[in-house]
Amino acid sequence: MSKITTEDVEYVAGLAQLILDDDSKERLVHEMGDILNYMDALNELDTEDIEPMMHVLDLANVYREDEVKKSLSKEDVFKNAPKSEGDYFLVPRILDNTES
């Protein structure tokens, strides 16, 4: 009995913006189930009074003067873009025009 279902995998894939075929879904039900079962070993530890640790360093916020500094050229910024025009990244249609 796996810890997670096909529906769980489909839900998480939706959150992660991934499209999975049926074979991948089935494989992930088993693999994620096995891995999550293994992770459940953490439940044997009492962590009631333990503060969660996000980071190993004692970090303080870093402030700097609000000064204009040299930054990347537009040419450099856009040179890796799959599609761009002028100062814009081009993407496919966002709004469905049948709605308006």
Both tokens assigned to 72: 């990347």
- C-beta closer to other proteins: residue 51 or 66: 51
The pattern of x and - marking residues 4 through 23 that bind other proteins according to CB under 8 A reads x---xx--xx-xxxxxx---
- C-beta closer to other proteins: residue 56 or 68: 56
Closest separation between CB of residue 88 and other proteins, Å?
Answer: 11
By CB under 8 A, tell whether 94 contacts other proteins: yes
34-56: b (≥16 Cβ within 10 Å) or e: eeeeeeeeeeeeeeeeeeeeeee
60 DSSP assignment = -
Whether the CB-CB separation of 2 and 35 falls below 8 Å is answered with no
Closest separation between CB of residue 5 and other proteins, Å?
Answer: 12
The pattern of x and - marking residues 31 through 70 that bind other proteins according to CB under 8 A reads xx-xxx-xx-xxx-x-x--xxxxxxxx-x--x-x------
Q: Which of 23, 33, 25 is nearest to 6 (CA)?
A: 25
